[in-house]
Amino acid sequence: MSDATDLETLDIPDLGDVPSPQACREERDGRKTTNHINSKCPVCGAGPYNTFAKLRGHFGNMSDDTPHQNYDLRLEAFQ
C-alpha cells in the first residue's frame, strides 16, 4: 500500500557531517572529539570503557571512593 505522495529527500548543501547525539553530549562535556581508549579503570579495574568520557563518568560515580578521587585522571595517560 502506498500513499499518494512520497516523502521527498531533503538535499541540504554544505551541511557537512552531522554529529551523533553522543558526540554532542561529549562536546557539551568540554571535548570536541570522542577519545576512544577502550581501557579499564586504572584504580579498580572496572570496565573496559570505550571512551575517556565514560571512564570519567565512572570516576564521577565513585566520588565517595578516596583512591578514585586521589587519582590524577588524565586523558594523556591513555593515549
Which residues of this chain interact with Zn ion, rule CB under 5 A? Answer: 41, 43-44, 46
Q: Which is nearer to Zn ion, 34 or 55 (CB)?
A: 55
8 A C-beta contact, residue 37 and residue 52: yes
Rg (C-alpha) for the chain, rounded Å, is 20
42: which DSSP letter? T
Cα 45 to Cα 55: distance, rounded to the nearest angstrom: 11
Nearest distance in Å: CB 44, Zn ion: 3
Q: How far is the CB of 62 from Zn ion (least distance, A)?
A: 6
Residue closer to Zn ion, measured from CB, 22 or 69:
69
Q: Compare residues 23 and 46 and give the one whose CB is closer to Zn ion.
A: 46
